């Protein structure tokens, strides 16, 4: 039960079938298998040994797939990273996981060139889509100079395959370690829950492969079942390109985040364009709460149901899903997948009965723990149960309803954002004495970032100046959209403020 067999078995069974469509490119399973073997040989020749960390910062394209499986085949631990991270964020993460090799695409390579010497653990840098540079190893040269044959590295089911970061990357990075067994089990469970067959066409859009939802439930599940994966480049601005791709390639399954479904509604309502999405048999939404109004309006415009799912990085991917047959229960994230158990606990660790609200706890293919953080691991894994930090209740039929979060965390378009990270940057500004961050709940965009700032006596500064200061010090999606200046910082700051649908809809813009 190891992840390399997912690609190996499908390449052996359906090698000539198209594995991934990316723009004009069509790449077969056999080609992905050969390229991943070449990457594995190259990594081993660079000195990568079993258990070494290999960081990867790439777009969701065929190269990502070959690199990811190449790392796995070499016995390494893949560390997929958000390509929007800035140098300070990467430096903090690399101090934590000490990767030996850094595989990076351009962009963002050029913007990070000055920072590379700060990454002390990195022995080799492999560049993708970048000109030959004597300082680095070119990906194309790896493909040309290494054999396509398999490597012989023994992998055990409980070996760590992936470190996926959650928590704030600068203030409190938590590397979630995921074993081959846990990820493989989740891949099978997801594919069975969605009733995937070899004839399905999986769509990938605005859900990056570095994210566990995109990596597990979309990429690996599609390879496991021998599906063709249509990876559409772009973000929210490319929404019509995505919908055109669904029509053209006859996509059957799409897993996305709520704001994408809101944008699809917007295309139909405002632009008067109604794409033919009738080939889609399953639409799943995760990464953030899915509002009932979005489900209802999507059904009105496209005649399709969206089925909510729930999970977190610590649970590999989703642990619950709305059953694909029968009615959608509005407000619910569905029932547990085949490999999962779920309970609701009170503050003393006692199980609560149906209908009572408490912390959601899960047992199944959970993480092995936080990388090099045994105390943090012990706080969330107790007697084999993962304490999620989310609050909810389960009805008599086993359907989960989420009501709140225990952790101070925002979700923006499926991305976890920790206010402490943003506050730490703001408070380094010489004119800011104190900062606090909250979210604004927007039914179109999800949670947007709002900051409260108390200035030092006698200082003045504009919102724009603060944003400019933050740029380059944090990933762009964390930048506060709204900044309010206060004379006295409130003692209690709510995690979020809600914007009702009518208000959000009145000022909707399609944004990244």
pLDDT in tens, the chain (512 residues): 899 999 999 999 999 999 999 999 999 999 999 999 999 999 999 999 999 999 999 999 999 999 999 999 999 999 999 999 999 999 999 999 999 999 999 999 999 999 999 999 999 999 999 998 999 999 999 999 999 999 999 999 999 999 999 866 667 789 999 999 999 999 999 999 999 999 999 999 999 999 999 999 999 999 999 999 999 997 666 899 999 999 999 999 999 998 899 889 988 887 777 789 999 999 999 988 888 889 999 999 999 999 999 999 999 999 999 999 988 999 999 999 999 999 999 999 999 999 999 999 999 999 999 999 999 999 999 999 999 999 999 999 999 999 887 667 787 777 788 888 899 999 999 999 999 998 886 665 556 899 999 999 999 999 999 999 999 999 998 999 999 999 999 876 665 454 444 334 433 333 33
Distance CA(473)–CA(111), nearest Å, equals 12
- Alpha helix positions (H), 106-233: 109-112, 139-145, 180-193, 212, 221-224
Distance CA(490)–CA(235), nearest Å, equals 36
Q: What is the pLDDT of residue 492?
A: 62
Distance CA(127)–CA(74), nearest Å, equals 18
Identify whether the C-beta of residue 84 lies closer than 8 Å to the C-beta of residue 51: no
SS (H, E, C) 27-56: EEHHHHHHHHHHHHHHHHHCCCCCCCEEEE
Q: Domain 4-179, what architecture?
A: 3-Layer(aba) Sandwich (3.40)
Of the candidates 73, 69, 93, the one whose C-alpha atom is nearest the C-alpha of residue 82 is: 93
Cα Rg of the chain (Å, integer): 22
Of the candidates 508, 492, 351, 356, the one whose C-alpha atom is nearest the C-alpha of residue 445 is: 508
Find all residues with CB under 8 Å of 134, minimum gap 6, and list them: none
Which CATH fold topology does 410-506 show?
Answer: GMP Synthetase; Chain A, domain 3 (3.30.300)
Residue 329 has, within 13 A of its CA and on its CB side, a CA count of 16
Q: What is the pLDDT of residue 500?
A: 43
The structure tokens listed for 61 are: 């394209």
Identify whether the C-beta of residue 415 lies closer than 8 Å to the C-beta of residue 477: yes
Distance CA(29)–CA(70), nearest Å, equals 14
Q: What are phi and psi of 423, to 5 degrees?
A: -60, -40
Distance CA(51)–CA(260), nearest Å, equals 37
Greatest extent of the chain over all pairs of C-alpha atoms, in Å: 71
Helix (H, G, I), strand (E, B) or coil at 118: helix
Helix (H, G, I), strand (E, B) or coil at 415: strand
Report residue 27 CA to chain centroid gap.
23
Distance CA(257)–CA(336), nearest Å, equals 19
Identify whether the C-beta of residue 75 lies closer than 8 Å to the C-beta of residue 69: no
Cα 494 to Cα 272, 288, 439, 450, 490: the distances in Å are 38, 18, 8, 11, 10
Q: pLDDT, tens digit, for every residue of 364-380? A: 999 999 999 999 999 99
Q: pLDDT, tens digit, for every residue of 174-203? A: 999 999 999 999 999 999 999 999 999 999
Superfamily grouping for domain 201-405: ANL, N-terminal domain (3.40.50.12780)
Peptide bond just before 108 cis, omega within 30 deg: yes
Of the candidates 427, 434, 442, the one whose C-alpha atom is nearest the C-alpha of residue 481 is: 442
Enumerate the domain spans of the chain.
Answer: 4-179, 201-405, 410-506
What is this structure's pTM? 0.89
Q: What number of other Cβ atoms are within 10 A of residue 330's Cβ?
A: 14
Q: What are phi and psi of 396, to 5 degrees?
A: -60, -25
The structure tokens listed for 33 are: 């298998």
* CATH fold match for the domains 201-405 and 410-506: no
Distance CA(220)–CA(188), nearest Å, equals 9
């Amino acid at each position: 039960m190891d992840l390399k067999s997912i690609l190996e078995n499908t390449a052996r069974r359906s090698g000539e079938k198209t594995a991934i469509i990316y723009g004009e490119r069509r790449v077969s399973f056999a080609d992905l298998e050969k390229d991943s073997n070449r990457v594995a040989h190259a990594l081993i020749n660079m000195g990568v040994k079993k258990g070494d960390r290999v960081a990867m910062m790439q777009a969701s394209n065929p190269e990502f797939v070959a690199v990811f499986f190449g790392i796995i085949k070499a016995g390494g631990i893949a560390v997929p990273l958000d390509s929007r991270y800035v140098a300070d964020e990467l430096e903090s993460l690399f101090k934590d996981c000490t990767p030996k090799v850094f595989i990076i695409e351009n962009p963002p390579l050029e913007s990070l060139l000055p920072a590379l010497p700060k990454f002390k653990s990195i022995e080799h840098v492999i560049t993708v889509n970048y000109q030959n540079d004597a300082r680095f190893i070119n990906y194309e040269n790896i493909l040309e100079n290494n054999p396509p044959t398999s490597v012989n590295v023994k992998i055990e089911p409980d070996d760590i395959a992936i470190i996926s970061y959650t928590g704030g990357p600068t203030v409190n990075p938590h590397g979630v370690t995921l074993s081959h067994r846990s990820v493989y089990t989740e891949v099978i469970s997801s594919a069975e829950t969605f009733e995937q067959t070899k004839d399905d066409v999986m769509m990938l859009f605005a859900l990056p492969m570095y994210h566990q939802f995109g990596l597990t439930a979309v990429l690996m599940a599609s390879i496991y079942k021998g599906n063709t994966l249509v990876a559409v480049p772009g973000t929210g601005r490319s929404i019509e390109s995505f919908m055109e791709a669904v029509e053209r390639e006859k996509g059957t399954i799409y897993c996305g985040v709520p704001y994408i479904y809101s944008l699809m509604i917007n295309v139909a309502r405002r632009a008067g364009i109604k794409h033919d999405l009738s080939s889609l048999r399953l639409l799943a939404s995760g990464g953030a709460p899915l509002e009932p109004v979005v489900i209802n309006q999507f059904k009105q415009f496209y005649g399709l149901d969206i089925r909510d799912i729930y999970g977190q990085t610590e649970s590999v991917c989703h642990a619950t899903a709305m059953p694909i047959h029968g009615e959608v229960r509005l407000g619910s994230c569905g029932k547990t997948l085949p490999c999962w158990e779920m309970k609701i606990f009170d503050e003393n660790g006692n199980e609560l009965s149906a209908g009572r609200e408490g912390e959601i706890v899960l047992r199944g293919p959970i993480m092995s723990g936080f990388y090099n953080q045994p105390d943090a691991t012990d706080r969330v894994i107790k007697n084999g149960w993962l304490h999620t930090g989310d609050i909810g209740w389960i009805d008599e039929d086993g359907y989960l309803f989420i009501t709140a979060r225990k952790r101070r965390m925002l979700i923006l378009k499926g991305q976890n954002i920790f206010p402490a990270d943003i506050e730490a940057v703001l408070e380094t500004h010489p004119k800011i004495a104190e900062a606090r961050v909250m979210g604004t709940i927007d039914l179109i965009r999800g949670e947007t970032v709002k900051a409260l700032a108390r200035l030092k006596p006698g200082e003045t500064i504009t919102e724009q100046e603060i944003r400019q200061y933050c740029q380059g010090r944090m990933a762009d999606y964390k930048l506060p959209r709204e900044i309010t200046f206060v004379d006295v910082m409130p003692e209690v700051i709510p995690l979020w403020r809600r914007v009702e649908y009518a208000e959000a809809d009145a000022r909707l813009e399609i944004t990244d």
